[in-house]
Amino acid sequence: MREIVLDTETTGFDPSSGDRIVEIGAVELFNHMPTGRTYHQYINPERAMPAEAFAVHGLGDDFLSDKPVFKRVGQAFLDFIGPDSKLVIHNASFDMKFLNAELGWAGMPRIPDDRAIDTVMIARRKFPGSPASLDALCRRFGVDNSAREKHGALLDSEILAEVYLELLGGRQPDLVLASGPQVPAAGAVVTEGWRPPPRPQKLPPRLTEAERAAHAGFVAKLGDAAVWKRFGG
């Protein structure tokens, strides 16, 4: 199963008001493991960058002026995500709204909403009542986000990939699949070899002492042939 962990940066909050995408970053997973392939593209929004957006992203008009417009890179982006890979996105409705607006303006096929996996919703189901922002989840799982001084699409997608794997039960950074050929993209950077770094500190044990004692009592009743006794569990 192929998944694309994805993030966008935009000039504002609403494409119907003229806001546009200025950056796309994505990380490829296969069977919940990173392949090492990433996608990164800056985009000329064809409008002035608002001061508040510059403060968040650090992307100004001078920097974006020579970047390709979305219509030039849209097909390469669609080629990278493929026709049916799930898109793992934090607050998916926001990014999907912008991506489909840009694709529509470019006369390209839109992405069905049911392709999106929203990590905000996963986090809220798993930790009801707790903060579900990306920074809060990084703190919960010990994911290093110290480089996240400003929002950047590729950095945020790499961080989100780590968080997503933790939400699924824990990452395995040493198991990286061989990557396929690069996808041609107009000005985009498709890289090989990315993988989530090891967790700086191990997560605390999740079993309580009462659960350990109950397990030990259960195993004792099974006799010496029990699998847990033969293999040290």
| 215 catalytic per annotation | no
DSSP 8-state code for residue 83: T
Catalytic residue among 32, 57, 90, 151: 151
Say if CB 30 and CB 83 are below 8 A apart: no
CA distances from 64 to 18, 59, 73, 155 (A): 17, 7, 14, 18
User: How far apart (Å, rounded) are the C-alpha atoms in residues 89 and 123?
Assistant: 12
21 strand-pairing partners: 10
For 223, the token pair is: 């006799």
User: How far apart (Å, rounded) are the C-alpha atoms in residues 76 and 174?
Assistant: 29
How far, in whole angstroms, is CA 78 from its chain's centroid?
A: 17
Give which of 172, 217, 180, 224 is closest to 196, Cα–Cα.
Answer: 172
Say if CB 61 and CB 49 are below 8 A apart: yes
Say if CB 80 and CB 190 are below 8 A apart: yes
Residues classed as catalytic:
151
